[in-house]
Amino acid sequence: MNVHFDEKAPRDTQVLVDTQAIRENFRNIKEMCGETTAVMPVIKANAYGHGAAEIARVLYEEGAVYLAVATLTEALELRAASDDYPLFILGHTPDRLLDRVVENRITQTVFSFRQAELLSALAEDRGVKARVHLKVDTGFHRLGTDDVEELRKILSLPGLEVEGIFSHLALAGYEDDMAQFDKFMKIADELEKGGFRFRYRHIADSIACVDYPEFRLDMVRPGALVFGLKGFHKGHIEIRQAIGMVTKISQLHRIPKGEGVSYDYCWKAPKDSVIATLPFGYADGYPRNMRDKGYVTIRGMKCPLVGVLCMDQCMADVTHVPGVSEGDIAVIYGDGTDNTMDIQEASELAGTNKNEIIARIMARPVRVYY
């Protein structure tokens, strides 16, 4: 794989982001969904570790209808970056902060008449309308309501522009997914019987928008898909991973057989060994349980991580790497070529999913966009 290391960056541990891959992934999603379905990319959790500010700019340039986040703090970060971004909060915003939603022209998820009424009053005080989407609980039981009468009351509030209605799938299996979809459509249809028309109905995330074409409706909400991570099973779309992570060897230690490494000497050298210290650790978001399972790639060779991973550093066995030197690049996450570990493999080794691996990458490592 090609490593785009920035020698001028203030730290050797760097997250590499291929913005062209993100552009191409997004274009392929739009092409797959067709002209009648809007695409709202989800860039919560610092754009799944890729860096929200830069990714927002890229996707806005590509014509994203909305940029979706989970929290008001995430939305305000992006509003500070641009007054033009169309922002959507997927999660709950506490009552005391709703005025900031109105002030910053952010589209808000609502699922109770009480909060909708408060938001409506705040908007009327400012002489504007607050744009909202209704969240329907179709069986996930996280956020939302299935009380049609309560939702109908929200539609009548004078300070709101109710633009859309949406739900989220539990993805428990085809029959359960279809049951949720049918419930969602029944509730949306019931609310529209009086002549109201939702501009956007949406229920499809990254997986559903590929696997269930009939679920795409007026809008889809791809997250991991935008960043090139595959979770779908039935459909197909061309995407490629956009993220990588690299560092450089800080120091080499030549240690005799039987010598311990790191806390508690949980690993001891089985023979005379060469150990590389690498300047990244679990405070950078690398899974601590990767000890004795994870590896980095140095000079094209897999080098196992040994000993307990530290907060800011870890160690790798490089005994078998010819010519290894301090300052050599170590690939933490790659694209799966040249003996590098891609995000799929990392998730399997860590016993989690791909989204957690990238979302947990902290802001501390330098982002390098290319």
Q: Active-site positions?
A: 44, 263
User: In what order do the strands lie in the sheet containing 87-89?
Assistant: 67-69, 87-89, 107-110, 130-135, 160-166, 200-202
What does DSSP assign to residue 204? B
H helix or E strand, kind and range, residue 166: strand 160-166
Token pair listed for 366: 């330098």
In the chain, the N- to C-terminal Cα span, in Å, equals 14
Cβ contacts of residue 220 below 8 Å, gap of 6+?
A: 29, 33, 37, 38, 39, 40, 202, 204, 205, 208, 209
Crossing angle (nearest 10°) for helices 174-192 and 148-155: 50
Length of the chain: 370
Distance of alpha carbon 228 from alpha carbon 29, whole angstroms: 11
Distance of alpha carbon 49 from alpha carbon 65, whole angstroms: 21
| Phi, psi of 213, deg, nearest 5 | -55, -35
Distance of alpha carbon 32 from alpha carbon 169, whole angstroms: 20
Residues 343, 348, 349, CA angle at the centre, nearest 5°?
A: 95
Residues 56, 213, 43, CA angle at the centre, nearest 5°?
A: 15
